[in-house]
């Protein structure tokens, strides 16, 4: 079956690379896509990177995979979008789009008549994500965030779907698998789950890092995922899993009580106890201090490294093993 997205198409046994112009109202963006239509029919797998700017490992790995995968290696179809949100990726290297200040990963499945970022989400959801048999969205800690690598997925109150998604999350081969209790919210993988698509989030890398070893590890994980889905069969390309994935749940999120300067006492990787002080936010004008305490017990999986924070900014996300 021909694989078509906008003006791009790939016949079975062909690979097509190019960009698709998407009209966002005040501006048009070019979305880069690699369509690999396998020599044999099978599932369609969609990968997105660059939903957020400043998260380089996922974009790097997606672009490299797009270069490496050839139709003869593929059973089914692989759609790779290494830069899903060009304004945020290229202009600000931030989570929010410079076009309208919107975090696209809060507004999926988008609104085609909405603000520019909502329109982009709607285009991506309708044209790239929808129709996937499996979907993986690649993220990192932002340029001001520390992060321990993990794979995330949402429970969708559908036993069959949840089992498929869980198996995908484990197949990637990262040590931590984070379960979200429901599929609510505007994250692309949550919106996909609500649509019945097995969808995972992979978070790897931090602080604007772009270490080749992390990209290599992520590429290994993506090959394991494609192998698990029956899309890539050459086992010589698939590195064995070296860690036993373990399921975790989020226990709390800590947000800044004020706009000011953040001085953490506990950082990513630290074990904290509910109520424990984890730092303070100082008002640079009068020197007044807001204490910040852990809202839950567990390990900080990602945290704010930036000195300057706005009221409500996420300072730490806390999780615990599920068992």
Task: Describe the strand order of the beta sheet including 289-293 as a list of residue ranges.
Answer: 289-293, 277-282, 260-264, 308-309
Task: Between 137 and 162, name the residue whose CB sits nearer to Zn ion.
Answer: 137
Over its C-alpha atoms, the chain yields an Rg (Å, rounded) of: 20
Q: Kindly state the smallest distance separating residue 88's Cβ from Zn ion, in Å.
A: 9
**Element holding 124 (H helix, E strand):** helix 116-124
Q: Kindly state the smallest distance separating residue 99's Cβ from Zn ion, in Å.
A: 17
| Residue 197, helix vs strand vs coil | coil
Q: Do residues 104 and 88 lie in contact, with contact meaning Cβ atoms separated by under 8 Å? A: yes
Q: Kindly state the smallest distance separating residue 246's Cβ from Zn ion, in Å.
A: 22
Q: Kindly state the smallest distance separating residue 55's Cβ from Zn ion, in Å.
A: 5
Task: Between 78 and 88, name the residue whose CB sits nearer to Zn ion.
Answer: 88
Task: Between 15 and 52, name the residue whose CB sits nearer to Zn ion.
Answer: 52
**Residue 279 CA to its chain's centroid (Å):** 28
Q: Kindly state the smallest distance separating residue 97's Cβ from Zn ion, in Å.
A: 13
Largest CA distance in the chain: 67
Q: What's the CA gap between 280 and 260, in Å, rounded?
A: 10
Nearest in space to 65 (alpha carbons), one of 252, 237, 255, 204: 237
Which window, 45-53, 85-93, 248-256, 291-299, contacts Zn ion (CB under 5 A)? 45-53
Task: Between 51 and 231, name the residue whose CB sits nearer to Zn ion.
Answer: 51
Q: What's the CA gap between 280 and 272, in Å, rounded?
A: 15
Q: What's the CA gap between 137 and 254, in Å, rounded?
A: 24
Q: What's the CA gap between 16 and 177, in Å, rounded?
A: 33
Q: Kindly state the smallest distance separating residue 306's Cβ from Zn ion, in Å.
A: 15
Site string for Zn ion, 56-95 (x = CB under 5 A): ----------------------------------------
Site string for Zn ion, 134-153 (x = CB under 5 A): -----x--------------
Q: Do residues 197 and 129 lie in contact, with contact meaning Cβ atoms separated by under 8 Å? A: yes
Task: Between 203 and 220, name the residue whose CB sits nearer to Zn ion.
Answer: 203
Q: Do residues 245 and 322 lie in contact, with contact meaning Cβ atoms separated by under 8 Å? A: no
Instruction: Rule CB under 5 A: say whether 52 interacts with Zn ion.
Output: yes
Instruction: Rule CB under 5 A: say whether 189 interacts with Zn ion.
Output: no
The residue count for the chain = 323
Q: Kindly state the smallest distance separating residue 137's Cβ from Zn ion, in Å.
A: 8
Task: Between 77 and 215, name the residue whose CB sits nearer to Zn ion.
Answer: 215
Instruction: Rule CB under 5 A: say whether 96 interacts with Zn ion.
Output: no
Task: Between 96 and 194, name the residue whose CB sits nearer to Zn ion.
Answer: 96
List contacts with Zn ion (CB under 5 A).
52, 55, 139
């Amino acid at each position: 079956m021909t694989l078509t997205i906008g003006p791009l198409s790939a016949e079975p046994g062909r690979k097509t690379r190019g960009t698709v112009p998407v009209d966002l109202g005040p501006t048009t963006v070019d979305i880069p896509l690699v369509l690999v239509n396998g020599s044999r029919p099978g599932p369609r797998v969609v990968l997105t990177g660059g939903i957020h700017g400043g998260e380089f490992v996922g974009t790097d790995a997606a672009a490299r995979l797009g270069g490496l995968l050839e139709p003869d290696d593929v059973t089914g179809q692989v759609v790779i979008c290494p830069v899903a949100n060009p304004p945020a990726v290229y202009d600000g290297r931030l989570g929010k789009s410079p076009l309208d200040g919107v975090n696209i990963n809060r507004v999926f499945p988008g609104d085609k008549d909405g603000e520019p970022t909502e329109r982009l989400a709607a285009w991506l959801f309708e044209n790239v994500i929808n129709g996937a048999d499996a979907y993986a969205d690649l993220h990192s800690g932002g340029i001001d965030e520390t992060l321990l690598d993990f794979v995330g997925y949402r429970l969708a109150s559908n036993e069959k779907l949840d089992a498929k998604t869980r198996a995908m999350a484990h197949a990637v081969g990262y040590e931590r698998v984070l379960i979200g209790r429901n599929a609510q919210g505007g994250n692309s993988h949550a919106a996909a789950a609500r649509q019945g698509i097995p969808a995972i989030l992979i978070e790897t890398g931090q602080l604007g890092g772009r270490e080749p070893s992390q990209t290599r590890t992520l590429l290994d994980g993506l090959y394991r995922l494609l192998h698990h889905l029956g899309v890539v069969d050459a086992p010589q390309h698939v590195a064995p899993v070296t860690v036993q994935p373990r399921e975790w749940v989020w226990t709390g999120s800590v947000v800044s009580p004020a706009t000011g300067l953040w001085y953490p006492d506990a950082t990513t990787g630290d074990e904290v106890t509910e109520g424990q002080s984890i730092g303070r936010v100082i008002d640079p004008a009068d020197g007044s201090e807001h204490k910040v305490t852990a809202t839950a017990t567990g390990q900080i999986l990602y945290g704010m490294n930036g000195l300057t924070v706005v009221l409500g900014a996420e300072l730490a996300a806390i999780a615990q093993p599920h068992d």
